[in-house]
Amino acid sequence: MILVTGGTGFIGSNIVAALVARGDKVAVCDRHLDDGRAAHIAGLAIEHRVPADEVVAWLAGRDDVTAVVHMGAISATTETDVDLVLRTNVWLSLELWDHCVAHAIPFIYASSAQVYGDGALGFADDESQQAMAELRTITPYGASKLLFDRLVIRERESGRPLPPQWAGLRFFNVYGPHEGHKGGMMSVIAKTYPALAAGEPIRLFRSEREDYPDGGQKRDFVHVADCADVVLWLLDNPGINGIFNLGSGQARTWLDLAHAMFAAMEREPAVEFVDMPQELRGRYQYFTQAEMNKLRRAGYDKPFTSLEAGVGDYVRGYLARDGVPG
């Protein structure tokens, strides 16, 4: 049985669905087992539902968990309660890591492209302590993910026991079904769809840098189904260990994204630019692009969904059907 933390969340629920679809037994851990997010796993054959505050004790009493996929985290880049972020994103992660070491089971966890800060030092998933020490994060969330990555590598370099398989995934700009609960942290696709469906223009941030035109800021957009597939591939290849970027490997502009949305909705593009909110100034990434050679060298050879195909599927297959973010 595979335990998925954050299993009613965005990436977690898609991983749960993919595991169940192929016949794996799954236990779901989350703080949202009894609210609207539970709809993300409704109808799935879940073996156990574990409240987040009870997961460590629950694990201690079982010997049938064969892997932990740890997607649970406070992922809001605007969260400023550092103690809360550390308790959730670092200390709990260490407890789960220790369990996997003690019981010799795989541990796959969510890191983030936020570890790269503003991207000035590039996006190489270099595991060396020296390379990670040079990174400068710009949010408490990013700092917490970088800290845990560094703690994992410290464990390896110290010669202490490790899980038989461990892998950290630095997710880039993930989009797709089941992100509606994320509020302001939803993808622009989900966030703007209702207005676009009502005939309004899409509103994008003006650039505050001379080297990027308005709408020319670039991100590495990756479909959540691709992320779930990589997790399943790791579970099927227990000899693969390390920290890996997980994006499409191709940076695209916000205007590219907007045009893909309008094409999926069969509308002529209509774009307006607005000033960037004060809380994002100085913490906004103008360019992200995952270097994917490391994951490719490890053996993952499937193509990633193109932006046009992924946005088209999301808009027509989910958003247009439900009328709200999927």
CATH number where 314 lies: 3.90.25.10
- In this predicted structure, what is the pLDDT of residue 323? 63
- How do residues 139-170 score in pLDDT, each as one tens digit? 899 999 999 999 999 999 999 999 999 999 99
Find tokens 């994917």 and name the residue. 292
- In this predicted structure, what is the pLDDT of residue 220? 98
Residues 112 and 190 in one domain: no
Catalytic residues: 141, 182
In terms of residue numbers, what domain contains 213?
Answer: 181-218+251-288+310-322
Quote the distance between the C-alpha of residue 310 and its chain's center.
Answer: 16
pLDDT exceeds 60 at position 326: no
8 Å CB contact between 194 and 324: yes
Residues 283-290 have a mean pLDDT of: 88
Residues 25 and 72 in one domain: yes
Residues 117 and 185 in one domain: no
Residues 193 and 245 in one domain: no
Residues 144 and 232 in one domain: yes
- In this predicted structure, what is the pLDDT of residue 74? 82
Residues 178-193 have a mean pLDDT of: 93
Residues 59 and 152 in one domain: yes
Residues 105-129 have a mean pLDDT of: 95
Q: Give the amino acid at 3.
A: L
Q: CA distances (Å), 249 to each of 102, 126, 219, 295, 318, in order?
A: 35, 16, 10, 11, 25
pLDDT exceeds 80 at position 304: yes
Q: Give the amino acid at 43.
A: G
- In this predicted structure, what is the pLDDT of residue 324? 62
Residues 265-284 have a mean pLDDT of: 90
- Total Cβ atoms within 10 A of residue 325: 22
Residues 3-29 have a mean pLDDT of: 98
pLDDT exceeds 90 at position 321: no
Residues 197 and 301 in one domain: no
Residues 203 and 120 in one domain: no
Residues 140 and 189 in one domain: no
Residues 226 and 167 in one domain: yes
8 Å CB contact between 14 and 76: no
pLDDT exceeds 80 at position 77: no
What's the chain's average pLDDT?
A: 95
Find tokens 């370099």 and name the residue. 157
Find tokens 């996006």 and name the residue. 123
- In this predicted structure, what is the pLDDT of residue 222? 98
- How far is residue 291's CA from residue 250's CA, in Å, rounded to a whole number? 9
Q: CA distances (Å), 149 to each of 108, 125, 185, 280, 288, in order?
A: 12, 11, 23, 25, 19
Q: CA distances (Å), 148 to each of 74, 106, 152, 170, 222, in order?
A: 14, 17, 6, 12, 23
Residues 15 and 160 in one domain: yes
Residues 186 and 274 in one domain: yes
Number of domains comprising the chain: 2
Residue 239's CATH number: 3.40.50.720
Residues 280-290 have a mean pLDDT of: 85
Which of 308 and 86 is assigned the larger pLDDT?
308
- How do residues 18-59 score in pLDDT, each as one tens digit? 999 999 999 999 999 999 999 999 999 999 999 999 999 999
Which of 277 and 14 is assigned the larger pLDDT?
14
Model confidence at 76, in pLDDT bands (50, 70, 90)?
A: confident
